[in-house]
Amino acid sequence: MADSPVFVTANYTLSFDALRSALAGMDAYILVLDTKAINVWCAAGKGTFGTDELVHRLEVTHLGDVVRHRVLILPQLGAAGVAAHEVKRRSGFKVEYGPVRAADLPEYLKTHQATPEMRQVRFALRDRLILIPVELVHVFVPILGVAALMFLLGGLLPAVGMVIAILAGVVLFPILLPWLPTSDFSSKGFIVGGAVMLPFGLVALVGRADVVWWLRVVELLSYLLYLPPVTAYLALNFTGSTPFTSKSGVRREIYTYIPIMARMLVAGIVLSFVLPYITRWGG
């Protein structure tokens, strides 16, 4: 209908589905911006959920010919990327910022006024748990490939260790996020990775009585080198899924920790690969 409200979102599955579910049974239009499949908040920081893309979508969809009004309702977390006055000047559409959560839209539409609770950003356990299935889908195929590679290089235990390190970064990290010390996601990830590495370290030190002590230490070192950086890297990936990181902070983390993770991972995998040969020689 020509008077139906227009909601703007990103072509990110969770963002779109949350909005569509909130609008069930309502006559409305959804204008989807091409954010390269990135959620609204992150895309606003990156500029893909931005003024230019919004004006472009208005032009290519000819929305002005579809609706009589000139009001766009955007998610609050997209405000960082959109200059409302520029959108108004270039398209004639007024930008109105709705609540943080799509679920609050039915109540918001009664008055077009958001309550303080609607403006409050939360990231409770339930919100973090929602992210886990999405991340698991992304890593399912890579995890099989990496596990197979580690099995060929070092055997069953390194392969299992790699799988657990990945699952720790995807499942355990978001659950424990608020309670982990340090402020950087990467260092939090190193803590989780170090914790899941401990059982493998114990197996290497006390479960291999038939191997000389220094070879057990080498095996422990290989786990210490390649397991924690895998978890830390996946933890760093969650900076794009949380509402309390900044663009500059994420950039600083990337430049600080990625080189460290890469060096540790390569060293650990190489050590894991040569360990069987060293064991035969040492034995």
Report which residue type is found at 48: T
Counted domains in the chain: 2
**CATH code of the domain covering residue 39:** 3.40.50.11600
Domain identity same for 180 and 225: yes
Residue, of 180 and 222, whose pLDDT is higher: 180
HEC string of 200-262? HHHHHHHCCCCCCHHHHHHHHHHHHHHHHHHHHHHHHHHHHHCCCCCHHHHHHHHHHHHHHHH
pLDDT in tens, 272-282: 777 766 665 55
Domain range for 226 = 125-282
Using CA atoms, how far apart are residues 196 and 250, in angstroms rounded to an integer?
25
Q: At residue 283, does pLDDT exceed 60?
A: no
Coil, strand or helix at 11: coil
Percent of the chain with pLDDT strictly greater than 70: 93
Q: At residue 261, does pLDDT exceed 90?
A: yes
Q: What pLDDT does 279 receive?
A: 60
Q: At residue 60, does pLDDT exceed 70?
A: yes
What does the pLDDT average to over 25-39? 91
Out of 119, 144, 173, a domain closes at: 119
Q: Which residues contact 96 (CB under 8 A, 6 or more apart)?
A: 71, 72, 73, 74, 112
Domain identity same for 68 and 139: no
